[in-house]
Amino acid sequence: MPSKKYIFVTGGVTSSLGKGIISASLAKLLQARGYSVTLQKLDPYINIDPGTLNPYEHGECFVTEDGAETDLDLGHYERFLNIPTSQDNNVTTGRIYLSVINKERRGDYLGKTVQIIPHITDEIKRRIKILGTKNKFDFVITEIGGTVGDIESLPYIEAIRQLKWELGPTNCLVIHLTLVPFLSAARELKTKPTQHSVKLLLENGIQPDILVLRTEKHLNQEIRGKVALFCNVDISSVIESIDVSSIYEVPLLMLKEQLDITVLRKTAMTVGETPQLTGWNDFVQKLKNPKITVDIALVGKYVELQDSYKSIMESIVHAGVVNNCRVKLHSIHSERITELNVTELLSKMKGVLVAPGFGDRGIDGKIFAVKYARENNIPFFGICLGLQCAVIEFARNVLGLNSAHSTEMDHKTPHPVIDLMEEQKRITDKGGTMRLGAYLCKVKEGTLTYEAYKSTEIMERHRHRYEFNNYYLPAFEKAGMISTGINPDTNLVEIMEFRNHKWFIGVQFHPEYRSTVLNPHPLFINFVKATIN
């Protein structure tokens, strides 16, 4: 009998119901009850990973410690569970097909016709089970991207059907998330879409064990009973997921709805004592009762889509809570910023964060924003491309290197202050070839950076091809912009700090991938703190 329990989370009716948050919340509750849990996301698109996708398509690309470019839901998993994920935690259809096709070319299936069933479904099952077998987890929670009924999701649904049958009822559960819309004209909540969505699952051979209903209004017993009756689940398995102002409230709501207890009973696991979630509760209390509000600008070029800067936004929320303040983050499109309007756009801001990015669209606006923050002594935080913009701005406006640029934007610049990394020069493929994942960085003592980290050795995650050009370092340092963090193996500049300023730090890595509810990131904490003082 397998000791692991496999839980699948599917979605019906519409997308964006918050499957990732429900999965992470359930994981959090099981973890709080003493179980070891991991979360996995299966994405039904053909890209090998989301690394080559524009943020407009798919939101932020989340980078794991082992350098995998993954779905942003992995960010939620880490922020909720406080444990790192890896490549195994995110698999796409592209990756599944790639391994099956590679096996076919190697001759692993010699003589056989390679088909969706069993070859693709076997590979899906292998990827699901790998997580459970590589590590000692009690629960593996696998979230299936997309919506039931999509052509792309079918092989995943079939793989779950097979696993359910192979592993037996107490070892495998399906949680289906649907929407119960409120029709204002009729003043009624409607369960029909849920019934249809469950029928779709049944057509594919899956009876969901638990239904989580996303709703704007509370569900009464009558509605719960109706859903139970029409969808063949017991009433305690009809779980309400009501809209809340913060995603961090969802674990508390799920605790109230006893989602965890229902899962434990159905998987024949010990329920034990109700978890206190003290740290989490404190966080939510502080989040909901800020003492002050502070306005910070987030300058980027994908600001139209909230999800593009998900981890940065959440890191700011975490840092706000530590500082007892609510950060009002003003997303400002970098293409909108000009030399003429920069003062008007930024004058009310207590801090400026320039976001990561690629390509030259909106680059001038970012540079104007840095200049404004530097000249007006406004706390500045530059992340990846944000650091690179700060370097370009400083070179142009302080060192007098007028046409200084990054060779990413201008490969003929006479002053390539940001240049392609040596190891990148031979690379032509775009997928998965950046400098990715966690690297060591040595921090200089007596700096704002050290004040934040309180350590001389840190590990941070990366996703870039370009770097600070060390040829220019002496000139920068002489003018007050010093390198406060370097990679000890390659000498690559990881952090720059402008000393004649209240708080001005640019980092080549992505600190936002490491901030969690229980471990908010020190740079974000001190950036927000600087905006308050």
CA–CA distance, 32 with 280 (Å, rounded to integer): 10
8 Å CB contact between 497 and 410: no
Nearest approach in angstroms of CB 227 to ligand GLN is 44
Query: CA–CA separation, 222 vs 226, rounded Å?
Result: 6
Cβ nearer to ligand GLN, comparing 8 with 381: 381
- Write the interaction track for ligand GLN spanning residues 312-351; mark x where CB under 6 A is met and - where it is not: ----------------------------------------
Q: In this chain, which stretch among 33-41, 118-126, 217-225, 352-360 interacts with ligand GLN, using CB under 6 A?
A: 352-360
Q: Which residue is it, tokens 């053909």?
A: 46
- Using CB under 6 A as the criterion, what x/- string covers residues 396-435 for binding ligand GLN? ------------x---------------------------
**C-alpha angle 353-468-440 in degrees, rounded to nearest 5:** 85
Residue 366 interacting with ligand GLN (CB under 6 A): no
Q: How far is CA 13 from CA 17, 41, 191, in A?
A: 9, 19, 11
Closest to ligand GLN by CB, 11 or 437? 437
Q: Residue 457: helix, strand or coil by DSSP?
A: strand
Number of shown-chain residues binding ligand GLN (CB under 6 A): 11
Question: Stretches 46-54, 119-127, 274-282, 458-466: which one binds ligand GLN (CB under 6 A)?
Answer: 458-466
Tell me: does residue 60 bind ligand GLN (CB under 6 A).
Answer: no
Q: How far is the CB of 431 from ligand GLN (least distance, A)?
A: 14
Tell the residue number behind the tokens 């909901």, with chain if given.
288
Q: Amino acid identity of 163?
A: L
For the annotated catalytic residues, the residue numbers are 384, 510, 512
Q: In the set 132, 155, 300, 356, which binds ligand GLN (CB under 6 A)?
A: 356
Q: Which is nearer to ligand GLN, 24 or 299 (CB)?
A: 299
Site for ligand GLN in 368-397 (CB under 6 A): 384-385, 388
Q: Least distance to ligand GLN from the beta carbon of 360, Å? A: 10
Output b/e per residue, 490-520; b: 16+ Cβ within 10 A: eebbbbbbbeebbbbbbbbbbbbbbbbbeeb
Q: What is the DSSP letter of 484?
A: E
CB of 390 to ligand GLN, least distance (A): 12
Nearer Cβ to ligand GLN, position 91 or 384? 384
Neighbours of 154 (CB within 10 A): 17
Q: Which is nearer to ligand GLN, 328 or 465 (CB)?
A: 465
437 binds ligand GLN (CB under 6 A): no
Alpha-carbon distances, residue 498 vs 164, 379, 398, 512 (angstroms): 58, 11, 11, 21
By beta-carbon proximity to ligand GLN, the closer residue of 132 and 362 is 362
Choosing from 18, 50, 59, 357, the residue that interacts with ligand GLN (CB under 6 A) is 357
Q: Which H helix or E strand runs over 481?
A: strand 481-486
Residue 352 backbone dihedrals phi, psi, to 5 degrees: -130, 125
Which residue, 308 or 531, is less far from ligand GLN as judged by CB? 308
**CB–CB of 462/435 below 8 Å?**
yes
Supply angle C-alpha 313, 319, 323, rounded to 5. 140
Angstrom distance (rounded) from CA 487 to CA 301: 29
Restricting to residues 463-522, name those near ligand GLN by CB under 6 A.
463-466
Please report whether residue 230 would count as binding ligand GLN according to CB under 6 A.
no
**Run of H or E including 367:** helix 363-375
Query: What residues from 193 to 212 belong to the interface with ligand GLN (CB under 6 A)?
Result: none
CA-closest candidate to residue 277, choices 253, 259, 242: 253
Under the rule (CB under 6 A), what is the footprint of ligand GLN? 356-358, 384-385, 388, 408, 463-466
